[in-house]
Amino acid sequence: MNTTSAISRRNLLAGASALALPVGSAWAQKAQFTLKYGNNLPVMHPMNARAAEMAAKINAESKGRIDFQVYPNNQLGNDTDMLSQVRSGALDFFTLSPLILGTLVPAAQISGVGFAFKDYNQIWAAMDGDLGAHVRKQIAASSSLFAFEKIWDNGYRQMTSSTKPITSPDDLKGLKIRTPPSPFWVSMFKAFEASPATINFAEVYSSLQTRIVDAQENPLAIIATAKLNEVQKFCSITNHMWDGFWFLGNKKSFERLPADLQEIVTRNINASGLKERDDVKQLNDGLQAELKGKGMIFNNTDAEVFRTKLRAAGFYAEWHKKFGDESWAVLEKYTGKLL
């Protein structure tokens, strides 16, 4: 392993460990506004290092008028709980996968279409461009939520299994695989003839350990920080979906902030999102060698074989119909033709 990259990854993780604790108590005495932000990721994930750094900057720049508090690692409940809380205003901010947000705002899922994006250049062009703007408009129009401009990164998702490597769509037939609670994931894995089971992230490790499911899929950064390599032997580099995190806010909660404080919060959330993208890419790029060293067995795959299976199963046609011509055209502007 490259020593420099190993050290930098350790520094990233150490930074997360040092920073990503509930933040804001230093300002609690004089704060006019207490803002709570929850997420589902381990303290060691770069999201929480950047969130803690962001919170400290918001609190300082507001001169203590804001007490911005970070609650990592499902401290405030699982994804379903926190989505309910941020919708009601009990929680001010929450980061959520577009695919899970799709249970509330169907258009949000379009960025996760299976085997659609070929690389990060396509992804950021789309999400910082017309596709991201289209989705944010739908979120604001159909819920009590809004999304900040810069989506945070989760990474390309990979498939892991305790039973066998996944080298082709045939290896997915009948496989008990955990998916997040989203119809979109279920639809894709059913198209591959797998047996998907929706389980919240907080229960993933125990579900794999007790063999309720034999497989799961997540980016390498999450596989590593959640220590899923302890309960999964094989990791197949499928890059089957890109996944991010919309940084969501409750509209009424945010609108009660004066304009100058809205600007401080918005600027710092977007800037931290861009930094987190770099952190996650760096981690994901280097973790394969690290996880191999811990005993995981890796294999590469051919995306076109899986794409062909999805076409034949009618997956793209089904979701084109559900999303509608307008949304699908914006997606294909960046990915090229999928049907």
**Element (DSSP H or E) covering residue 218:** strand 215-218
User: pLDDT tens digits, residue range 89-101?
Assistant: 999 999 999 988 9
User: pLDDT tens digits, residue range 205-263?
Assistant: 999 999 999 999 999 988 998 999 999 999 999 999 999 999 999 999 999 999 999 99
Q: Which residue shows structure tokens 């389980």?
A: 199
- Which pair of structure tokens corresponds to residue 175? 């496989």
Q: Is the pLDDT of residue 81 over 90?
A: yes
Give the predicted TM-score (pTM) of the model.
0.86
Cβ-defined contacts of 28-32 (< 8 Å, 24+):
28/67, 30/64, 30/65, 31/64, 31/65, 31/66, 31/67, 32/65, 32/66
Report the pLDDT value the prediction gives residue 256, as an integer from 0 to 100. 98
Report the pLDDT value the prediction gives residue 202, as an integer from 0 to 100. 87
Report the pLDDT value the prediction gives residue 283, as an integer from 0 to 100. 86
The DSSP call for residue 157 is -
Report the pLDDT value the prediction gives residue 284, as an integer from 0 to 100. 84
The SS3 of residue 35 is strand
Task: Calculate mean pLDDT across residues 9-14.
Answer: 50
- The type of residue at 78 is N
Going by pLDDT thresholds of 50, 70 and 90, the confidence category of residue 44 is confident
Alpha helices in the chain (DSSP H): 3-19, 46-61, 79-88, 98-101, 120-127, 130-142, 183-191, 204-209, 220-225, 251-255, 259-293, 303-312, 315-323, 325-335
Q: Is the pLDDT of residue 129 over 90?
A: yes
User: Phi and psi dihedrals of 231, rounded to 5?
Assistant: -125, 10
- Select 158-240+292-335's CATH number: 3.40.190.170, 2.40.50.140, 3.30.9.100, 3.40.50.2300: 3.40.190.170
Burial of 118 (0-12, 13-18, 19+ CB in 10 A): middle
Going by pLDDT thresholds of 50, 70 and 90, the confidence category of residue 26 is low
CATH fold, domain 3-156+244-286, is D-Maltodextrin-Binding Protein; domain 2 (3.40.190)
The DSSP call for residue 104 is T
CA quadruple 109, 114, 117, 119: dihedral, nearest 10: 120
d(CA 245, CA 263): 21
User: Phi and psi dihedrals of 89, rounded to 5?
Assistant: 95, 0
Closest CA to 197 of 177, 216, 215: 177
User: pLDDT tens digits, residue range 56-75?
Assistant: 999 999 999 999 999 999 99
Report the pLDDT value the prediction gives residue 323, as an integer from 0 to 100. 95
- Residue ranges of domains in the chain: 3-156+244-286, 158-240+292-335
User: pLDDT tens digits, residue range 260-311?
Assistant: 999 999 999 999 999 999 999 888 888 999 999 999 999 999 999 999 999 9
Q: Is the pLDDT of residue 23 over 60?
A: no
d(CA 173, CA 215): 12
Report the pLDDT value the prediction gives residue 29, as an integer from 0 to 100. 62
Task: Calculate mean pLDDT across residues 131-159.
Answer: 96
Q: Which residue shows structure tokens 């062009």?
A: 125
Question: Over the chain, what is the mean pLDDT?
Answer: 91
164, 245 in Cβ contact below 8 A? no
Report the pLDDT value the prediction gives residue 184, as an integer from 0 to 100. 86
Let me know if the fold of 3-156+244-286 is the same as that of 158-240+292-335: yes
d(CA 174, CA 196): 9
- The type of residue at 223 is I
Q: Is the pLDDT of residue 103 over 90?
A: no
d(CA 276, CA 280): 6
The answer to which of 145-149, 285-289, 329-333 has the lowest mean pLDDT is: 285-289
